[in-house]
Chains A and B, each alone.
Chain A
Amino acid sequence: MTASSNDMKSSRRAFLRGALAAGGTVAGASMAKAAGPDPLITEVQPWASGLGEGVDATPYGLPIKFESDVVRRNVEWLTADVISSINFTPIHALDGTITPQGCAFERHHSGAIELSKKDYRLMINGLVDRPLVFTYEDLERFPREQHVYFCECAANTGMEWAGAQLNGAQFTHGMIHNMEYTGVPLRTLLAEAGLDAAGDLSDKWVYVEGADASSNGRSIPMEKALDDVLVAFKANGEALRMEHGYPARLVVPGWEGNMWVKWLRRIEVADAPVESREETSKYTDTMADGTSRKWTWVMDAKSVITSPSPQSPIRHGKGPLVITGLAWSGRGAITRVDVTVDGGKTWQQARLAAPGQPMALTRFYVDHIWDGEEMLLQARAHDETGYVQPTKTQLRDIRGLNSVYHNNCIQTWWVKPSGEAENVEIS
């Protein structure tokens, strides 16, 4: 028998009555008064008396059951089938910047495959001096690096182009995760194969391809391949999860998630892009006049308030309120985040939890005193290049409504006096 807070019975009911009575008196800076002694304090609770679980009860731990709603979620109508689909990180319920792997969004084109380290092979071929094959163990023998990077699907917020659609930060902005990767720089692997055969590197490409049935492949310009791209095999200190490309995936800092090829099996040095399905029919941005941008790799600066938000309403009434959110930019580090509570009439600078890191999520806070009236909450990110996150109107003026991808507009939450919040657009 394990002692748990579920075992408490009458004690909690008594306290709930007390809290309800006290709730009415919360106002301004005045403190709540207890209706009577809190039995959680005055009575010996089962967990303070009995014993908890022993070690090894859960050899690999999962979140406690009280957090069971902090999970990835799918929007069924978006895709024909879950095998080729996407789900969303519960960013509304997380804090800090690192996304736990178990709730980091998934995007598969032919399902998540089980590929063992033993069966893993990585080939480098094309315009190289020596076409090479590496095993997983080989990868671990190269000098390694560690970096924290966000991975955002180009379609994140894509459902919001034509108007406010999905009611929750998880659904509007949850195609993103942020992890600490351990891996080998792609340039190290390319150097191992030798690039003399490629000659002038300025117009060369690297084509990367996955081992799953979708054989997802993308062409990356050599400049980026030699810059900061990683072949990663660890995330947040442990092996990649199956759904994120175990045992090795590509990490392409600041660039759209589709290029972060999972189950990476082949790297080809080429003198032209392949123009694969994922870089022509998909992941190209159609403008109002019907022409389309291609090679829109960089993810522009963006931010969202994660709480309060539709899935994370205010439950505590007026008074001190923590407004928090995430900001990021594929062009570099976040330098500043502005927040408004009145729909953009006035803005204040948010407090960054830590200085922004290049191409990684930055957590921001506004320590607000809520007057209990409705709020129109927005955040606006600035990055180190001077780029300022645009409004939806600014983006639509340039791109129209049909570009699907790369929607980095300012998001609005309408917080009502009840504390509930809704995804809205404002004038």
Chain B
Amino acid sequence: MSKSLNLYGGLALGGVAILTAAYNFADRNVTPLVDTDRVLGEAPASLDMGFMLRPAIASTTAGDGPLGIGREALPEEVTAWDVDVRPDGHGLPAGSGNVSDGDDLFQDYCAVCHGVFAEGVDNWPKLAGGTDTLDRDDPLKTVGSYWPYVSTVWDYVHRSMPFGNAQSLSPDEVYAITAYILYSNDLVDDDFVLSNENFTEVTLPNVDGFFVDDRDTVELPVFSQEPCMENCKETVEITMRATVLDVTPDQTAAREAFQAEEAAEAAAEAAEATEEAAPATAETAAQPATEEAAPAAETAAAAGDLDPELVAAGEKVFKKCAACHQIGEGAENKTGPHLNGVMGRTLGAVDGFNYSKTMAEMGASGTVWTEEAMAAFLAKPRDYVKGTKMSFAGLKKEDEIAAINAYLKSFAQ
């Protein structure tokens, strides 16, 4: 912070000057607007009201004061939204949570992406480990190895997690989860309790590992030299090529689709040219079209019994699921299995998805995703399938469950 004080020291005057400019600017632009309205003889009441209010709430800072736009925020509104927590504990609500409860909560809400021990799953963030890796190739940046402040963990978990169900955790739950993350980084013992009382006593290892941007002093002078324009080097060698790695995404799909269209045209042209070829081409062209039409009709028949409004409502509710589950054409297994054709299927039956033991066993014993089963699961996932990997608290409203059921049914294939 000392560096930032140096950076912004002496700016107070500048700031005030800019503010004054803003007021002046505002005045110049608003006054003619009202004049125009008067000329037209139909000044909107609201505008006049605005101007009458202005003197009453005029600022003492500069100029004519505010424009009187907007309304005062109510204390409960500020409380609802102003929940950020800072390193000094500013913004922290009263509460506490221990490592053991945090472990349970973490397994329920976080482990599906962050791993049982906060070690991370696939490409999802690893929250533990990485000690002494910051100066090596590919450092592992975790809460324990990199994050400077516990407040950042608390604040982020509280406001932005769990992924797909943010702002659903109580302060005590957030204290507990934070305690577990500290524990998983070997920073506290297993009997540790984190609370607003002892919060600022916890210091993360890398708290002193950051310094304020010094590019202006370290880089700017080096990178402000007039560069060489002629005879700058004798030889040039290629030292590395991107195609050796071959990690660039395939972007040929669109191009190929267009080329296929062109090729089809060319084929049609060729067909026109030779009489014998013409019927053959027509046949080939017609065949896939018929095949495509068949399943489409089937889906339509299956979906025929569904209330389109309910399906549409389900599509909205499904946004809660979409962080982990895909559905529809091209759906694949992600954090959760794809859900195409899930209704009527046995539990745990999607190939290539690693289900929890219970889910797999229920499937093996013949349990099927009926409407009732799905409703029970969605109401309380961990009660219906003990040990499910799905870290979702459940849908509280029955109409949401009914809507989801209808939506899932609409993807019979």
List chain A positions with a Cβ less than 8 A from chain B: 6, 9-10, 13, 65-66, 68-69, 71, 73-77, 79-81, 83-84, 109-111, 123-126, 129-135, 138, 141-143, 162-168, 171, 185, 187-188, 190-196, 200-203, 207, 209, 213-215, 217, 221-223, 226-227, 265-266, 268, 270, 272-277, 280-281, 284, 286, 288-298, 300, 310-311, 338, 342-348, 376, 380, 385-390, 394, 398, 401-402, 414, 422-427
Nearest chain B residue, comparing its CB with the CB of A228: B18
Residues of B near A80 (CB, < 8 A) are 113, 122-124
> Contacts A69-B258, A166-B242, A292-B209 known; A191 to B224 CB distance under 8 Å?
no
Partner of B236, one of A166, A273, A344: A344
> Contacts A291-B211, A386-B224, A423-B242 known; A123 to B78 CB distance under 8 Å?
yes
Residues of B near A187 (CB, < 8 A) are 18-19, 22
Quote the shortest CB–CB distance from B337 to chain A (angstroms): 15
- CB pair A275–B223 under 8 Å, yes or no, is no
> Contacts A80-B124, A425-B239 known; A191 to B155 CB distance under 8 Å?
no
- CB pair A132–B135 under 8 Å, yes or no, is no
> Contacts A80-B113, A423-B242 known; A215 to B213 CB distance under 8 Å?
no
Residues of A near B67 (CB, < 8 A) are 141-142, 192
- CB pair A132–B151 under 8 Å, yes or no, is no
Quote the shortest CB–CB distance from A226 to chain B (angstroms): 5
The answer, yes or no, to whether B10 is at the interface (CB within 8 Å) is yes
Quote the shortest CB–CB distance from B178 to chain A (angstroms): 13
Nearest chain B residue, comparing its CB with the CB of A141: B69
**How would residues 309 to 335 of chain B score, 1 for a CB under 8 Å from any chain A CB and 0 otherwise?**
000000000000011000000000011
The answer, yes or no, to whether B268 is at the interface (CB within 8 Å) is yes
One of B248-256, B275-283, B391-399 contacting the partner: B248-256
Residues of A near B222 (CB, < 8 A) are 390, 394, 398
The answer, yes or no, to whether B199 is at the interface (CB within 8 Å) is no
Nearest chain A residue, comparing its CB with the CB of B143: A281
Residues of B near A424 (CB, < 8 A) are 238-242
One of B98-106, B156-164, B349-357, B358-366 contacting the partner: B156-164
- CB pair A191–B236 under 8 Å, yes or no, is no
B1-42, CB < 8 A from A: 1, 4-5, 7-12, 14-16, 18-19, 22-23, 25-26, 29-30
Partner of B18, one of A227, A280, A394: A227
> Contacts A69-B255, A344-B232, A427-B236 known; A132 to B18 CB distance under 8 Å?
no
- CB pair A214–B19 under 8 Å, yes or no, is no
Partner of B78, one of A73, A131, A292, A344: A131
- CB pair A201–B227 under 8 Å, yes or no, is no
Can you offer 21 A-B residue contacts whose CB atoms are under 8 A? A69-B254, A75-B247, A133-B71, A133-B73, A168-B248, A217-B84, A221-B4, A223-B8, A268-B82, A272-B87, A275-B151, A276-B155, A277-B160, A280-B148, A286-B134, A293-B215, A386-B224, A387-B220, A388-B224, A425-B239, A427-B236
Partner of B87, one of A143, A191, A202, A275: A275
Considering the chains assembled together, what is the distance between the CA atoms of A425 and B16 in angstroms? 49
Nearest chain A residue, comparing its CB with the CB of B146: A281
- CB pair A166–B269 under 8 Å, yes or no, is no
Partner of B323, one of A65, A83, A207: A83
Residues of A near B240 (CB, < 8 A) are 163-164, 424-425
Considering the chains assembled together, what is the distance between the CA atoms of A361 and B82 in angstroms? 36
The answer, yes or no, to whether B380 is at the interface (CB within 8 Å) is no
Partner of B251, one of A73, A134, A193, A274: A73
Considering the chains assembled together, what is the distance between the CA atoms of A65 and B257 in angstroms? 11
- CB pair A207–B212 under 8 Å, yes or no, is no
Nearest chain A residue, comparing its CB with the CB of B262: A6
Quote the shortest CB–CB distance from B219 to chain A (angstroms): 6
Nearest chain A residue, comparing its CB with the CB of B155: A276
Interface size of B by CB at 8 A reads: 117
Quote the shortest CB–CB distance from B249 to chain A (angstroms): 5
One of B53-61, B188-196, B299-307, B381-389 contacting the partner: B53-61
Residues of B near A68 (CB, < 8 A) are 254, 257-258
Residues of A near B369 (CB, < 8 A) are none
- CB pair B248–A427 under 8 Å, yes or no, is no
**How would residues 36 to 76 of chain B score, 1 for a CB under 8 Å from any chain A CB and 0 otherwise?**
00000000000000000000010111000011011111000
**How would residues 71 to 95 of chain B score, 1 for a CB under 8 Å from any chain A CB and 0 otherwise?**
1110001100110111110100000
The answer, yes or no, to whether B230 is at the interface (CB within 8 Å) is yes
Residues of A near B81 (CB, < 8 A) are 123, 125, 209, 265-266
Quote the shortest CB–CB distance from B20 to chain A (angstroms): 9
Residues of A near B298 (CB, < 8 A) are none
Considering the chains assembled together, what is the distance between the CA atoms of A386 and B166 in angstroms? 46
> Contacts A201-B15, A275-B149, A387-B223 known; A75 to B249 CB distance under 8 Å?
yes
List chain B positions with a Cβ less than 8 A from chain A: 1, 4-5, 7-12, 14-16, 18-19, 22-23, 25-26, 29-30, 57, 59-61, 66-67, 69-73, 77-78, 81-82, 84-88, 90, 113, 122-124, 134-135, 137-139, 141, 143, 146-149, 151-152, 155-156, 159-160, 163-164, 166-167, 209-215, 218-220, 222-243, 245, 247-249, 251, 254-255, 257-258, 261, 265-266, 268-269, 272, 322-323, 334-335
Considering the chains assembled together, what is the distance between the CA atoms of A13 and B272 in angstroms? 13
Nearest chain A residue, comparing its CB with the CB of B157: A277
Residue of A66, A124, A130, A297 with most chain B CB atoms under a 10 A cut-off:
A130
> Contacts A80-B124, A346-B229, A427-B239 known; A223 to B14 CB distance under 8 Å?
yes
Residues of A near B235 (CB, < 8 A) are 427
Nearest chain B residue, comparing its CB with the CB of A281: B147
Residues of B near A10 (CB, < 8 A) are 269, 272
Partner of A167, one of B134, B159, B226, B242: B242
Partner of A300, one of B16, B215, B239: B215
Residues of A near B265 (CB, < 8 A) are 6, 9
Partner of A422, one of B15, B230, B242, B247: B242
- CB pair B245–A143 under 8 Å, yes or no, is no
- CB pair B26–A142 under 8 Å, yes or no, is yes
Partner of A166, one of B14, B248, B268: B248
Partner of B156, one of A188, A191, A266, A277: A277
Considering the chains assembled together, what is the distance between the CA atoms of A120 and B16 in angstroms? 30
> Contacts A214-B166, A281-B147 known; A388 to B209 CB distance under 8 Å?
no
- CB pair A292–B210 under 8 Å, yes or no, is yes
Residues of B near A296 (CB, < 8 A) are 213, 215
- CB pair A203–B8 under 8 Å, yes or no, is yes
- CB pair A164–B78 under 8 Å, yes or no, is no
- CB pair B239–A426 under 8 Å, yes or no, is yes
Partner of A66, one of B11, B151, B258: B258
Residues of B near A73 (CB, < 8 A) are 249, 251
Partner of A191, one of B23, B84, B88, B214: B23
Residues of B near A192 (CB, < 8 A) are 66-67, 69-70
- CB pair A398–B219 under 8 Å, yes or no, is yes
> Contacts A294-B210, A414-B238 known; A191 to B163 CB distance under 8 Å?
no
- CB pair B247–A166 under 8 Å, yes or no, is yes
